[in-house]
Amino acid sequence: MRWLRRLWHRSLTERRLDSELQFHLEQQIADYVASGLPPCEARRRASLEFGGLERFKEECRETHWENHVEILARDFRVALRGLARDRRFAFIAIFALALGIGASTAIFSVVDNALLEPFPYKDSRHLVTIRLHDQDQADRWRGAFLFAEIQDIRKQNHVFDGMVANLEDDIVYSAGDGNLQLGGNFVSSGTFEFFGVAPFLGRSLAAADYQPGAPPVFVLRHATWVGKFNSDPSLIGKTFMLNGVSRTLVGIAAPRFAWGGADLRMPRGPDEPKVLREGDFARHWGVVAHLKPGVTAHEASADLNVIAQGLSRVYAKEYPKHFAMEVLSFGSAVLSPRFRNSLYVFLAAVGLLLLIGCGNVANLLLARAAARKKEFAVRAALGASRFRLVRQLLAESFLLAISGAMLGIFFAWAGVKTLAAVIPDFTIASETVIEMNGAVLLFALVVGVSTVFLFGLVPALQASRCDLHDSLRDTGKGVGRTVGRSGLRNAVIVLEVALSLTLLFTAGRFMRSFVALQEVPLGLRIDHVLTARMPLPAARYKTAAQLTSFFRPLLARLKSVPGIAFAAETSTLPPYGGIRSEVEVPGKAHTEKWDTLFQLCSEDYFSVLRIQFLDGRSFTEAEVNDVRKVAVINQTFRRRYFGDENPIGRRIQLKELKEFSDPLNDTWFEVIGVVADVRNQGLQEPLWPEAWIPYTVTGSFMRGILVRTTNEPKSMIKAVGKEIWATDPSVAMAQPETLEYFLNLFTFAQPRFGLWLVTIFAAIGLLLVTIGVYSVIAYTTSRRTHEIGIRIALGAARADVLNMVLRKGLQLVLAGIAIGLAVSFALSRLIISQLWGVSATTVSPSSRWPSCSLPLV
Amino acid sequence: MPQEKVEFLKGTLDMLILKVVAAGPIHGYAISQRIQQISKDFFQVPQGSLYPALHRLEEQDWLEAQWKDTSTGREAKFYTLTRKGRKQLETEVLNWERLSDAVALILRTAE
């Protein structure tokens, strides 16, 4: 236990070391005196020979480990004192480090969660969906299939080892005191096993539930159970009236199971001949398949194309002339490719931020190292070994790194929480859970911390490399001597300025595209408009007459409500799409297919949206109620299909109406009016020709209402709901919201999110770079105080000195700007090509209005 | 004093110290004097090497130290060899002999 004793009796050890060396010295002196030298000469000579007593003492001390503990503690005390003395430096370094680590971890985590591993499903990387493209029209495709079609694909394919299907349906839950509108999903047998998710509570749907005559059951989505049913576990086993059918709740699905986005899932075998709704679109089922091991999406597409040739003969109506099957990964089908691109831009931006942060820390450490050169020279002269100097600096770096890392972890945590909260709806897959990624955090920490250690050790290297005398003499008075040594610092500054400029440039592009987006003329007024989808019970509302029997009294009632100026029926949510149809105009020969969008609406549609008439008039209430075949067209329609001719009184044919489940025999309409162009494909896609016809012509298609209010539209939701209830108690509004809300959600939320993110990055980057430039200029200037003094004494004017100092800084900044501009211009093509992509059109509004804009061939 | 400074081969100083201490308790100054004397002033042990070496050897338990009065009545640190130190000395001497034999052989025969 000698070492323990020694640790306690350190002062004793120290005294003994002293007296041992002292003894040696005295013996030497005594010997010299004995050999005849005078005592003072003997002492001088002995001392000279002995050399730096302190240094040997230090070396002797280092052979004892217990001193290391002591030295370590002292190193940390000194480091802490040093940092406290240089508080500004410490704060900036820690902050820069933390910001770099935090921001990059947060964004990397989001990208990882949203892009790389978004799904909690079994082998989700090999899950795919199928699309059928019309090769004559690039943007026409369908991702849903007839049930029989799916059965055929399942039997004939060689590439999938599992396939499930789902069918969306609106569900009205009648709960004694009112109706609750829910999103339903019929799922094919084996769905839960296919996805490999265990139920949260109760059980999943089992094979027995699909047997003929099995009692009707359903499984509730976890989020719905929490949000709408107060997480009440006693609900399991209870029965619910859903669309008039009494169903038993058998389980709550796993929290992250969200395929199809439905609130509840019901068994419904694809083999059942008749599906719930007789609508045109509800018959199409969504599909997810699992690729066999080793099969690529490309191979699967090829296989399906062969099968599709056969299918196109069986289901001729469902297939266009030229088509191609595409198998694409589940994730890419769910996540908008444009948002994916934005995320990659953010990723790059945040990488730059981490670089700038580390560059800043490096620079601060380099500047500090240069300023402390003398200090370290003195230490070395007083006997500090290189090892001691390194250790001293390591202690400092360690303190910086630990503080930076802790703050960085906090920033990362806060960043992930914030990002997860502000990512707009429908942007990422609903299965995705945004959480901090440990591996990524570790990576950022390693990068940041190693920067600190790497550059923190520079003073030790300098001290051991350069000549002591030089360092001691050179106390910052050298003129222009620091140029070579400051090369690294300057390079870092130039790089930082360039990086920051690139970030600013990117932010600028985002801002411009966002402003441009907001300035797109809509052609309609979105303020004070309330809209709601109106799912009607399919059994009672099939024909045009049945549909009219609901909407006619409802619209009349709504118009009499105080606070409602106009009320109209609509078939889609403006300004997002309409029903596509082939169109014919008599007397106009054309070789290519003519297309238009059309809407089924009531007479007040144009008043609600304040759409401007250029020619003619809107239909009257009488025309709507009498099912007159009249149509209003837009300016693009007129220009494209009528040219300079006057369209009023001319006839057009909307062929698609023949294909509806409640079809029209005569699909010819007389044009009675022309309106100014109104956006009908979102804000960024080109305008389509569009026509409006009375809603009373068919009972098919999804319907909704548009209401112009005189005051705050949301305050009218209750009043509108009351009138609907009074018209038919079995109907409920689905998602009543303002038009402004939808426009914001579908079109502006993602670009705004992107803009905010990039702007924050750019601001942080600029801040860091400003600090970086300042610290270097301040440092170099302080080193030249002496020189400046001499210059002034020799007659230099104030302006000359300023000029001298500023020129240096300006040179660095200009160099950085030049590089930054070059990089920005190089990037601009890339960024522009994806910028419009921070857009909404790909956030398919079909998720809100499922049937209306489901792109069908 | 020798004309040129002769650098100790790495580890040689440790061996010489062990050898000198093997003769009986001895303090640092005397060790340096003994080495200088025996080598006929060929080796002059700088204090900067001697004391760190002594402390290192002590730390490795090859030497142990005691504070005793010298003949002049002053207290000094006397080093003695431990059993471990004696073993170490034997190994080092053996190694040294093999090394110098080998070197001598090369010098003789390589002409």
ipTM entry: 0.78
Assign A9 a pLDDT band (cuts: 50, 70, 90). Answer: low
Chain B contacts of A62, Cβ < 8 Å? Answer: 52
Domains in chain A: how many in total?
4
Q: Which residues of B touch A63 (CB under 8 A)?
A: 52, 55-56, 58-59
Q: A–B: how many Cβ contacts below 8 A?
A: 51
Query: Are A55 and B29 inside 8 Å of each other by CB?
Result: no
A549 part of a folded domain: yes
Query: Is the residue at A393 inside a domain?
Result: yes
Distances (CA, A) of B51 to A198, B20, B27: 73, 14, 11
User: Is the same domain home to A468 and A406?
Assistant: yes
**A511 and A584 co-located in one domain:** no
How much of chain B is in helix, strand and coil states, percent to nearest 5? 55, 15, 30
Same domain? For A594 and A722 the reply is yes
Q: What is the 3-state secondary structure (H, E, C) of A93-119?
A: HHHHHHHHHHHHHHHHHHHHHHHHCCC
- Does residue A185 share a domain with residue A132? yes
Which of A12, A55, A59 is the best residue to mutate to test the B interface, defined by the most B CB atoms within 10 Å of its own CB? A59
The DSSP bridge pattern shows strands A630-634 and A668-675 to be parallel
- Hey, what are A554's tokens? 């409802």
* Contact across the interface for B52 and A24, Cβ inside 8 Å: no
Tell whether domain B12-109 is in CATH 1.10.10.10: yes
Identify the CA nearest to A565 among candidates A454, A710, A350, A434. A710
Sequence-distant (6+) residues with CB within 8 A of A370 are A462, A482, A485, A486, A489, A779, A783
Q: Which of residues 507-546 of A touch B (CB under 8 A)?
A: none
pLDDT digits (tens, 9 = 90+) for B16-45: 888 889 888 888 888 888 888 888 888 777
A857 contacts: CB under 8 Å, gap ≥ 6: A132, A134, A140, A141, A142, A318, A319, A320, A323
* B24 HSE (CA, 13 A, CB side): 0
Which two three-digit tokens encode residue B5? 């400074």
Q: Is the pLDDT of residue A846 over 60?
A: no
Please give, rounded to a whole number of angstroms, the shortest distance from the CA of A45 to a CA of chain B.
Answer: 14
Cβ of A24 within 8 Å of Cβ of B28? The answer is: yes
Q: Residues A410-425: what's their mean pLDDT?
A: 82
Residues with Cβ within 8 Å of A595's Cβ and at least 6 positions away in sequence, in order, are A137, A580, A581, A582, A583, A688, A689
Query: Among B47, B56, B58, whose Cβ lies nearest the Cβ of A50?
Result: B47
Task: Identify whether A314 is part of a domain.
Answer: no
Label the pairing between strands A178-187 and A264-267: parallel
- Residue A780 covered by a domain: yes
CB-based contact, B85 to chain A, within 8 Å:
no
- A470 to chain B, any CB pair closer than 8 A? The answer is no
Residue A534 CA to residue A724 CA, distance in Å, equals 9
Which residue on chain B is closest to A30 by alpha carbon? B72
Query: Which residue of chain B comes nearest to A3, CA vs CA?
Result: B59
Q: Are residues A489 and A539 in the same domain?
A: no
d(CA A221, CA A229): 11
Mean pLDDT, rounded, of chain A: 79
- Residue B70: closest CA among chain A residues belongs to which residue? A23
Is the CB of A21 less than 8 angstroms away from the CB of B51?
A: yes
Of A541, A623, A531, A539, residue with least CA distance to A571:
A531
Angle between helices A458-465 and A337-371 (to 10 degrees): 40
pLDDT tens readout for residues A351-406: 777 777 777 777 777 777 777 777 777 777 776 777 777 777 788 888 888 888 88
Are the beta carbons of B47 and A21 separated by less than 8 Å? yes
Q: Do A51 and B59 touch (CB under 8 A)?
A: no
Are both A197 and A130 inside the same structural domain? yes
Task: Please name the residue that has the structure tokens 């429908």.
Answer: A426
- Each domain of chain B, given as residue ranges in start order, spans 12-109
Would you tell me the crossing angle of helices A53-62 and B47-59 to the nearest 10 degrees? Answer: 20
Q: Which residues span the domain enclosing A463?
A: 338-518+746-835
What's the rounded Cα separation, in Å, for the pair A267 and A275? 12
| AA letter at A475 | T
What tens digit of pLDDT does each residue of A513-544 get? Answer: 777 777 778 888 888 999 988 888 777 888 88
pTM of the model: 0.59
CA dihedral (A103, A105, A108, A111) positive or negative: negative
Question: Does residue A102 belong to any structural domain of this protein?
Answer: no
Are A134 and A67 within one domain?
Answer: no
d(CA A813, CA A102): 27
Task: With a cut of 90, say whether residue A166 has pLDDT above it.
Answer: no
A61-99 pLDDT per residue, tens: 666 666 667 777 888 888 888 888 878 778 888 888 888
**Any CB–CB contact under 8 A between B69 and chain A?**
no
The pLDDT value given to residue A473: 53
Q: Which residue of A has its CA nearest to B73?
A: A23
Shared-domain flag, residues A291 and A197: yes
- Top residue of B26, B34, B41, B77 to mutate, by most chain A CBs within 10 Å, is B77
Asked if A6 reaches chain B (Cβ–Cβ under 8 Å), the answer is no
The percentage of residues in chain A with a pLDDT greater than 90, rounded to a whole number, is 13
Q: How far apart are CA A390 and CA A393, in angstroms?
A: 5
Selected residues 5-44 of chain B with any CB under 8 Å from a CB in chain A: 27-29, 32
pLDDT tens digit sequence for A103-132: 888 877 877 777 766 777 888 888 888 888
Helical H runs in A372-457? Answer: 373-381, 386-422, 438-456
The answer to whether position A89 is within a domain reads no
The answer to whether residue B68 neighbours chain A at the CB level (below 8 Å) is no
Report which of A503, A601, A574, A604 is spatially closest to residue A823, judged by C-alpha positions: A503
Query: Cβ A63–B55 below 8 Å, yes or no?
Result: yes
Q: Are A361 and A451 in contact (CB under 8 A)?
A: yes
- A55 to chain B: which residues are within 8 Å by CB? 48
Residues A664 and A613 grouped into a single domain: yes
Q: In angstroms, rounded to a whole number, what is the distance separating the alpha carbons of residues A575 and A558?
A: 23
**pLDDT for position A842:** 30
B56 contact residues in A (CB cutoff 8 A): 63
Same domain, A66 and A214: no
Distances (CA, A) of A646 to A366, A613, A693, B78: 77, 14, 19, 122
Contact residues, chain A, for B75 at CB < 8 Å: 19, 23
Per residue in B48-98, pLDDT tens? 778 888 888 888 888 888 888 877 777 888 898 899 889 989 988 898 889
Q: Which residues on chain B are in Cβ contact (under 8 Å) with A52?
A: 48
Question: Does A79 map to a domain?
Answer: no
Q: Do B48 and A21 touch (CB under 8 A)?
A: no
> How far away is chain A from the Cα of B26, in angstroms, using its nearest Cα?
12
CB contact under 8 A, A56 and B59: no
